[in-house]
Amino acid sequence: MRARRLFALPAPVIFGALLVLPGCTGQDDPWKGKPGKHVLTSFTPLYCFAQNVAGDDASVMCVMSNRGPHHFDSRPNDALVKNADIFFINGLELDEQIADKLKTGSGNSSLKIVETAEAIPESQLRKSGAERDDHHGHDHHHGKFDPHVWLGIPEAIIMVGKIRDELKELDPAHASGYESRTADYIERLKQLQAEGQELLKDKKERKIVTFHDSMFYFARTFGLEIADFIEISPGAEPPLKKIRQVVESCKNSGVRLIAVEPQYPSNTSASAIRNELKAQGIDAEFVEIDPLETARPEDLKPTYYEDRIRANLKQLAEKMR
C-alpha cells in the first residue's frame, strides 16, 4: 500500500456546509431504519460506486461539501460517522485528512477507512502536476499522483472492484449479491466508455484546455489530450502570467475549446482567455464539463455518475469539430 501523507489545508479556505445524503436532521441517527451494513462515502462518485455495489443489501450515505473534495468541511456529524461500519474515500491525498478528522471526532475508533484509489496500480496513475508547475514559479501543493481518478472509466472500474471486495469481507452473507451487482455495473461502465469513444471518433479536434488540472484520466479514457489548464489551485484565480501562458498554449497547439465547470459559471480567467483568443482571430468556445466533485443532494442517485459522464460527452461532441 502506498504511504499516506496527510496535507494541511491552506488557511484562506472557506469551507462549505457539511451535507449528509440522502439526509438527516441535527444529531438524530441518520441510519435509523436503514437495513444492512452502514456504508459511508466521501463524495459523489464514491457514493454512486458504492450504491451500485450495495444494492438493497447495505445502506449507503455520503458526506459532501458544496465546494467539492478540495474544500471539504471537516466538522463531524457524530451520529453519521459513529454508526457507520465502513468509510470509502478516494485517497491519493485528496480526502484522507477529512476522513481521519471525521473518524476521530465521532469516537468510532473501529471505523475502517478504505482508500479506493489505492487499488489502482501505480503504473496506471499519472504523476502529480507539481513537477510541471515548478518552472512557472507556482507555489501549489500536490500529492505524488493526480487524485482525479474517478473521471477515468478504467480507474473507476478498479475502484468499484475494491468496494466489492471490502463489502464481501465485511458482510459475507451477501457476498453473492455484491458480486453480481458489481459485474453488472462494470459492464455498464465499459459500455459507457465504448459509447463515448464512438461518439467522438470522427472529431478532428482532440485537444482542449481545462478549468483546473483534473481531466487527465477522462481525456485518456476518450482519446483526448489536455493542452493546458487554467487554475493552479482549485477555486483560486490564476495570476496574469498563467493566463498568458494558456493563451500561448492555445495558439501554439491550435486549441480553441476551453472546458469550464458548471460549479464556476462566471470564471473571469476563462473568459479573459477566450476573449483574448477571439481578439487574435481564434474561434474559441466554452464547453461545459462537470468533474463530478459536487452534486445537489436532491440530484444524487445511483446513475448520477453515468448520467454526468454522458452529459460531458454530449457537450464535447456538440462543440468539437
Using one digit for the tens of pLDDT, what is the confidence trace for 148-179? 999 999 999 999 999 999 999 999 999 999 99
What per-residue confidence (pLDDT) applies to 28? Answer: 81
**pTM for the predicted model, two decimal places:** 0.86
Q: What is the 3-state secondary structure (H, E, C) of the chain?
A: CCCCCCCCCCCCCCCCCEEEECCCCCCCCCCCCCCCEEEEECCHHHHHHHHHHHCCCEEEEEEEECCCHHHCCCCCCHHHHHCCCEEEECCCCCCHHHHHHHHHHHCCCCCEEEEHHHHCCHHHCCECCHHHHHCCCCCCCCCCECCCHHHCHHHHHHHHHHHHHHHHHHCHHHHHHHHHHHHHHHHHHHHHHHHHHHHHCCCCCCEEEEEECCCHHHHHHCCCEEEEEEECCCCCCCCHHHHHHHHHHHHHHCCCEEEECCCCCCCHHHHHHHHHHHHCCCCCEEEECCCCCCCCHHHCCCCHHHHHHHHHHHHHHHHCC
What per-residue confidence (pLDDT) applies to 263? Answer: 77
C-alpha cell at 245: 501562458
Q: Is the pLDDT of residue 19 over 60?
A: no
Q: CATH topology of 18-194 equal to that of 200-319?
A: yes
C-alpha cell at 10: 491552506
Return the domain boundaries, the chain.
18-194, 200-319
Please report where in the chains the cell 474559441 appears, as a residue.
Answer: 284
> What is the strand order of the sheet 225-231 is part of?
225-231, 207-212, 257-260, 285-288
Task: Please tell me the least confidently modeled range out of 10-14, 109-113, 210-214, 285-289.
Answer: 10-14
Instruction: Report residue 180's pLDDT band, with 50, 70 and 90 as the boundaries.
Output: very high
CA–CA gap between residue 173 and residue 184 (Å, rounded): 19
What per-residue confidence (pLDDT) applies to 72? Answer: 62
What per-residue confidence (pLDDT) applies to 136? Answer: 36
CA–CA gap between residue 243 and residue 237 (Å, rounded): 10
Q: Identify the CATH homologous superfamily for domain 200-319.
A: Nitrogenase molybdenum iron protein domain (3.40.50.1980)
CA atoms 314, 148, 286, 308: torsion sign: positive
Decide: residue 26, CB within 10 A, 0-12 exposed, 13-18 middle, 19+ buried: exposed
Distance of CA 302 to the CA centre of its chain: 15
CATH number, domain 18-194: 3.40.50.1980
| CA neighbor of 64 nearest in space, from 82, 46, 52, 38 | 46
